Amino acid sequence: MDKSLFRKKTLARRKEIYSADTDAKIIEQFLNSDLYKKANWIMTYISFGTEIYTHDFIKKALADGKHIVVPICNISDHTITLSELINFPDDLEEGHYGILEVREDCLRIVDPKKLDLVMVPGCAFSPSGHRMGFGGGYYDRFLETISDDCVTVALIREDFIFETIPMEEHDKSVQFMVTEKCINCCPIQED
Ligand SMILES: Nc1nc2c(c(=O)[nH]1)N(C=O)[C@@H](CNc1ccc(C(=O)N[C@@H](CCC(=O)O)C(=O)O)cc1)CN2
Ligand SMILES: Nc1ncnc2c1ncn2[C@@H]1O[C@H](COP(=O)(O)OP(=O)(O)OP(=O)(O)O)[C@@H](O)[C@H]1O
């Protein structure tokens, strides 16, 4: 199936079967994991729409003393700039695509090489960590800039792991997936 049709169908299904309880279980799994416990500089996305809800996660991680880093979209070239987030939600305003981003007067730019862990958003994943995102190519470009020992993690509902998903050359995979049931280690991908 064509990539954009697959994305459209997946997003429609996500709307249909949205469950805040499932999201809470996924976040709990992640908070209890060694992946989370060991990471100091964590990049998260700020969820919008029916994405896995990360707002309470951000509050908890800040309270745990983690450095929380969030993306800012550069729509001219579909790259991501990173900023540390100190006060949630006070330092945020609605940015591109209606997603919350750090306000200009609260920006604290972070080098991607500083990150220990990236939580990668996505519509669908395969068991080996292949990812389908929102179609902007933002994360495929961004994941090329992190350090080799930075861990990549997807939070995903079991229903959105598909045996195969349409892939292109540039698509970057994740190393770990956290679902409401378990934490899977994906075989390392050569990409
Ligand atoms: N919470 C969150 N933040 C994020 C991402 C994300 O997936 N989730 N991104 C991950 O890359 C970047 C933003 N990426 C985006 C890429 C494309 C579209 C977009 O084109 N939206 C279309 C509709 C998409 C569709 O329904 O197929 C639109 O606004 O018309 C939106 C966001 C950076 N920040
Ligand atoms: N590393 C890259 N270099 C150049 N172009 C890229 C790169 N990654 C993606 N693209 C281009 O960006 C567009 C969107 O890619 P794709 O459909 O894989 O996005 P996505 O991974 O779903 O989106 P996102 O990362 O924003 O969630 C495609 O036209 C693709 O060719």
- pLDDT tens, 173-182? 999 999 999 8
Which pairing describes strands 117-119 and 92-94: parallel, antiparallel, or unpaired? unpaired
Phi, psi of 43 (to 5 degrees): -95, 125
d(CA 72, CA 95): 8
Which residues form the pocket of ligand 2, taking CB atoms under 6 Å from any ligand atom?
3, 132-141, 168, 170-171
- Kindly report the pTM of this predicted structure: 0.94
> What's the pLDDT at 4?
92
CB distance 71 to ligand 1 below 6 Å: yes
Cα-to-centroid distance, 133 and ligand 2 (Å): 8
E strands present in 12-159: 41-43, 67-74, 79-85, 92-94, 100-102, 117-119, 124-125, 131-132, 151-155
Ligand 2 atom closest to the CA of 172, numbered from 1: 21
Angle at Cα 77 formed by Cα 130 and Cα 119, nearest 5°? Answer: 35
For residue 73, the ligand 1 atom closest to its alpha carbon is 33
Q: How far is the CA of 21 from the centre of ligand 2 (A)?
A: 31
Per cent of the chain over pLDDT 70 is: 98
Query: Distance between CA 25 and CA 9 in Å, rounded?
Result: 24
For residues 26 and 141, give the distance between their C-alpha atoms in angstroms, rounded to a whole number.
Answer: 26
Rounded to an integer, what distance in angstroms lies between the CA atom of residue 183 and that of residue 33? Answer: 8
Give the Å distance between the CA of 29 and the centre of ligand 2. Answer: 29
Q: How many helices (H) and strands (E) does the chain have?
A: 5, 11
Q: Name the one residue in this structure whose structure tokens are 């800039």.
A: 145
Lowest mean pLDDT among 6-20, 41-55, 62-76, 173-187: 173-187
User: For 1-18, what is the mean pLDDT?
Assistant: 92
What does R_g of the chain's alpha carbons equal in angstroms?
A: 16
Q: What is the mean pLDDT of the chain?
A: 94
Interface pTM, i.e. ipTM: 0.92
